[in-house]
Amino acid sequence: MTRQIGVTELALRDAHQSLMATRMAIEDMVDACADIDKAGFWSVECWGGATFDSCIRFLNEDPWERLRTFRKLMPNSRLQMLLRGQNLLGYRHYADDVVDHFVDKAAENGMDVFRVFDALNDPRNLERAMAAVHKTGKHAQGTICYTTSPLHTVDWYVQRARQLRDIGAQSLALKDMAALLKPAPAYDIVKAIKAEMPDMQINIHCHATTGVTLVSLMKAIEAGADVVDTAISSMSLGPGHNPTESLQEMLEGTDYAADLDKALLRKVRDHFATVKPKYAQFMSAFTVDTDIFDSQIPGGMISNMESQLKQQGAGDKLREVLAEVPNVRKASGYPPLVTPSSQIVGTQAVFNVLMGKYKVMTGEFADLMLGYYGECIGERNPEVVAIAQAQAKKDPITVRPADLIPPEWSKLVEDASKLDGFDGTDEDVLTYAMFPGVAPGFFSARDDGPTNVGKSAEQLKAEADAASGAANAVRGPIKYKVSFGGREHSVQVEMA
Amino acid sequence: MTRQIGVTELALRDAHQSLMATRMAIEDMVDACADIDKAGFWSVECWGGATFDSCIRFLNEDPWERLRTFRKLMPNSRLQMLLRGQNLLGYRHYADDVVDHFVDKAAENGMDVFRVFDALNDPRNLERAMAAVHKTGKHAQGTICYTTSPLHTVDWYVQRARQLRDIGAQSLALKDMAALLKPAPAYDIVKAIKAEMPDMQINIHCHATTGVTLVSLMKAIEAGADVVDTAISSMSLGPGHNPTESLQEMLEGTDYAADLDKALLRKVRDHFATVKPKYAQFMSAFTVDTDIFDSQIPGGMISNMESQLKQQGAGDKLREVLAEVPNVRKASGYPPLVTPSSQIVGTQAVFNVLMGKYKVMTGEFADLMLGYYGECIGERNPEVVAIAQAQAKKDPITVRPADLIPPEWSKLVEDASKLDGFDGTDEDVLTYAMFPGVAPGFFSARDDGPTNVGKSAEQLKAEADAASGAANAVRGPIKYKVSFGGREHSVQVEMA
């Protein structure tokens, strides 16, 4: 008996977010949509915080219109989004009424599957969003961010799965944003969750950064995983994801299969292979890096810390800072290192090395220690909590952070209404609520229509020609006709 | 009980052969050797046909001296080479006395493990080389080239393994040059061979081209494989191999482990990460491609056929040729498609499409049909054999091809002795024997010493600066003060 494995295609969201700084314009996606729609995916991930942000910040594109476009072009697909729990797509906790409005509007505009997560894995930060999804009748997927620490045991993952089921998760996602998930724990965690809840659908999301995670997907599938995330090969690997086609081929001859249409996959691949060079300026040459297994620190975080240190003339302290990160992480109760906790922990580690342990805390780190982001898995160091309390002049909290936020929808409507270009819709209110610093500029420029920050084939060719011509021109010898003073002269120029 | 898995590091041979057209100079390798030597590898692959060829063709470097350098710098390692059976490192069958001399000299200069293979998997083409290795007391590894066809069943692989054992293989290598080996057959083949010969060491060599083969290595290990081939991460992936560090991390927490020194691996990685940009001009942007699973045709072969077709003004016939390849392969008894059989089959498919089926045969294809390369797994089509016989005016043979070659060592010594710069050693005779067209030029230029065809850091920077400066200069407008004829003029130049 061959068990069918579902596949979530990431090309339209996480793949270009990971590979080309989320810069892909809708016009470079639309021609692939019909093929993606028919290829047989379990779902098509196409929306999330960074894509929303990038739309209004860089592409002068309405992210709600993008969603409606996908809905129209992929009528047979489950459209999937990544939702940062009580943060929605923004960088703060929102009041519950905003959460409700956001989920309603996303569902209304065409979203089917809401993958809801929280950077600290605090289920209280997922609760409201999950409940809101339920009310719309759409699919609420509860997410556990994968990380490692002495407390992140298999039992802990099972317990967290239980909690997510209890708040209404219709499926569970294990989200491995740092490519930390090795084959053995992938197998053990999925096996243990399935042993307790055999009917719960389990989705596995791994990046490819460390080079091991296609094997982890294989072992997760062997343990019972139902759906895995991949990206079409021309949009895969590096800091992105494992190739869709390789996943399908990998399963051939095993007890599992991914029923995708190979001819359509080829068309999708060829489409993005053509599009990709346009965004070369946003891509890094990164291929594979296993350092994170020892440092626990994502590559992007290390480069952030390096530049912080250099600005302080302390570029030689990187090793000390790297050694301090695990201490700060332990003191704060072992948060996963993912946006925003990675920046918060990393910056505090820099401060600790430069100025002495917790002599100066960032406001964000104090908030983390005082519970304003939610609960972590481990106990927070009481001494450090006390310092945070003294420095931030705030009391620690134990309630769900959003419980302290009064309803704010009416105020957001009022504020958004004053903006030039505001179109009066709830969608615009939500855009403003998510990115209040960026939305006003977008609203006022929206009528200009979307821009494409990639380079057209003509531009790329002209640039290549110019560079090659330029190189030749500099080498010479080249003869010029130079006219001045009414007379024409013949001049030969050659590199000395 | 954790089972230790051996690792063969490929950076010094197949990795740069696959990624940068075999162009790496010895001076870019020497600084990594001490770390490679101590990192804990089962063996270090460092020599083979293409590296030998490249040394004398492009690098003005004595390949025997390269071997002695490796031997000196890695005193604790098993040095490993790839030996094309009766072809040795060349492109024809040699007489047995040349095979004996070659193996003797390779062993004497420091080689430990001889991975002996044949493009057609004909054991008779391995016999003499295996026997020669035995006489030196070194390690004789029998190799099966992995391919797929209706006849390449698990039983066939076991039967071939048996034959290689019977001709003296101390270990077996499964060589997957096209990244065709999927996880399920990897498991099944290794399992079946181990069931029959549990003490036989099995080495697995996979390229990474299709993106699935790290999973195949995992399944091969689960089935009992003892040693796997990988390349340090900075020299991995694309048309190359799976990353060494990822292999090690992949095994953590499983019943298997690769006991490599991580700190040393990092040093080796960093070394090659620094070296790699020098060879950018030889590298392709290729990442991953699963098409070969359906076409059975390696990517390099397709581009060869395309250019052959274009030269004939038949660029539109590619699809027909691709469809003809399986027919030609079947008619010739299902040879693996690897050098030289891939070129032979591919070119004949082109001829068949352009001129009608077997109307014109290449000499090489006729030889293949008539048994001059050895036996294939399948029966050759008798009608096509008859055509080959008529066109080539040669009889088919059933004996071992080398049985028809009289001893030739004395003649090779005599011929080599006449060459300008010949140093009188058997090594030089062998260099001449392997590459008679290239060796004379190398001998006469050898005293100039090795060249490095990579670009130095200074060159790379100067080029980048020039390109950027040139681009600006060409764009303009730029005002120049131009002096000639004793007067100064003001001139403005701008791109037209």
Tokens of A430: 């939500």
Calculate what percentage of chain A has a pLDDT beyond 70. 94
pLDDT for A479 equals 66
| Residue in this structure with the two tokens 């005193």, named with its chain if needed | B75
pLDDT at B496 over 60: no
pLDDT at B363 over 80: yes
pLDDT for A115 equals 98
For A:418-477, CB contacts with B below 8 A are 466-467, 469-471, 473-474
Calculate what percentage of chain B has a pLDDT beyond 90. 82
State the CB neighbour count (10 A cutoff) for residue B212. Answer: 31
Q: Does B473 sit within 8 Å of A290, measured CB to CB?
A: no
Q: Does residue A89 sit in helix, strand or coil?
A: coil
pLDDT for A484 equals 65
Identify the weakest region by mean pLDDT among A316-320, B327-331, B372-376.
Answer: A316-320
How far apart are the CA of A302 and the nearest CA of chain B, in angstroms? 17
Which residues fall within 8 angstroms of residue A413, CB to CB, at 6 or more apart? Answer: A429
Instruction: Using an 8 Å CB-CB cutoff, list chain A residues near B482.
Output: 482, 491
Find the angle CA(B10)-CA(B13)-CA(B15) to the nearest 5 degrees.
60
Mutate to test the interface with B, among A246, A459, A492 (most CBs of B within 10 A): A246
List, for residues A247-286, the tens digit of each pLDDT value: 999 999 999 999 999 999 999 999 999 999 999 999 877 7
How far apart are the CA of B238 and the nearest CA of chain A, in angstroms? 9
Identify the burial level of A159 via C-beta atoms within 10 angstroms of its C-beta, where 0-12 means exposed, 13-18 middle and 19 or more buried: exposed
Instruction: Nearest chain A residue to B247 by CA: give it.
Output: A212
Q: Does B250 sit within 8 Å of A287, measured CB to CB?
A: no
Instruction: State the Cα–Cα distance between residues B195 and B205, nearest whole angstrom.
Output: 20
Which residues fall within 8 angstroms of residue B38, CB to CB, at 6 or more apart? Answer: B76, B261, B264
Report the pLDDT averaged over residues A333-358: 92
Q: Does residue B397 sit in helix, strand or coil?
A: coil
pLDDT at A476 over 80: no
* Residue A488 in contact with partner chain B when CB distance is under 8 A: no
pLDDT at A472 over 60: no
Q: Does B489 sit within 8 Å of A211, measured CB to CB?
A: no
State the CB neighbour count (10 A cutoff) for residue B234. Answer: 23
List, for residues B13-59, the tens digit of each pLDDT value: 999 999 999 999 999 999 999 999 999 999 999 999 999 999 999 99
Calculate what percentage of chain B has a pLDDT beyond 70. 94
Calculate what percentage of chain A has a pLDDT beyond 90. 82
pLDDT for A304 equals 78
pLDDT for A493 equals 62
pLDDT at A216 over 70: yes
pLDDT at A338 over 70: yes
Tokens of B232: 């340090």
Instruction: State the Cα–Cα distance between residues A130 and A138, nearest whole angstrom.
Output: 10
Which residues fall within 8 angstroms of residue B249, CB to CB, at 6 or more apart? Answer: A182, A210, A211, A212, A290, A293
For CA atoms A227, A232, A237, A241, the dihedral sign is negative
Task: Report the complex ipTM.
Answer: 0.91
Report the pLDDT averaged over residues B87-116: 97
Instruction: Using an 8 Å CB-CB cutoff, list chain A residues near B188.
Output: 253
Mean pLDDT of chain B, nearest integer: 93
pLDDT for B461 equals 84
End-to-end CA distance of chain A: 74
3-state secondary structure B155-203: HHHHHHHHHHHHCCCCEEEEEECCCCCCHHHHHHHHHHHHHHCCCCEEE
List, for residues B130-180, the tens digit of each pLDDT value: 999 999 999 999 999 999 999 999 999 999 999 999 999 999 999 999 999
pLDDT for B245 equals 98
Report the pLDDT averaged over residues B366-392: 97
Report the pLDDT averaged over residues A425-447: 98
List, for residues A390-410, the tens digit of each pLDDT value: 999 999 999 999 999 999 999
Query: Pick from B12, B336, B14: which is nearest to B181 by CA?
Result: B336
Q: Does A211 sit within 8 Å of B214, measured CB to CB?
A: yes
pLDDT for B475 equals 53
Instruction: State the Cα–Cα distance between residues B39 and B230, nearest whole angstrom.
Output: 13
For B:178-207, CB contacts with A below 8 A are 182-185, 188
Question: pLDDT band at residue A469, thresholds of 50, 70 and 90?
Answer: low
Identify the weakest region by mean pLDDT among A101-105, B68-72, B341-345, B383-387.
Answer: B341-345
Instruction: Using an 8 Å CB-CB cutoff, list chain B residues near A249.
Output: 182, 210-212, 290, 293
pLDDT at B471 over 80: no
pLDDT for A366 equals 97
Report the pLDDT averaged over residues A203-214: 97
**Burial call A453-472: b when 16+ CB within 10 Å, e when fewer:** bbbeeeeeeeeeebeeebee
Q: Does B211 sit within 8 Å of A245, measured CB to CB?
A: yes
pTM of the prediction?
0.92
Between B482 and B246, whose confidence is greater? B246
Query: Pick from B238, B269, B233: which is nearest to B250 by CA?
Result: B233
Report the pLDDT averaged over residues B370-385: 96
pLDDT for B167 equals 96
Question: pLDDT band at residue B463, thresholds of 50, 70 and 90?
Answer: confident
Tokens of A482: 């130079």
Instruction: Nearest chain A residue to B217 by CA: give it.
Output: A215
* Residue B288 in contact with partner chain A when CB distance is under 8 A: yes
Closest Cβ–Cβ partner in A212, A218, A249 for B249: A212
Identify the weakest region by mean pLDDT among A294-298, A344-348, B430-434, B469-473.
Answer: B469-473
Report the pLDDT averaged over residues B229-243: 96
Query: Pick from B473, B417, B411, B410: which is nearest to B440 by CA?
Result: B417
Instruction: State the Cα–Cα distance between residues A208 and A176, nearest whole angstrom.
Output: 10
Closest Cβ–Cβ partner in A182, A485, A491 for B252: A182
pLDDT for B339 equals 77
Query: Pick from B8, B106, B59: which is nearest to B282 by CA?
Result: B59
Mean pLDDT of chain A, nearest integer: 93
Report the pLDDT averaged over residues B417-433: 98
CA A63 to chain centre: 16
pLDDT at A290 over 60: yes
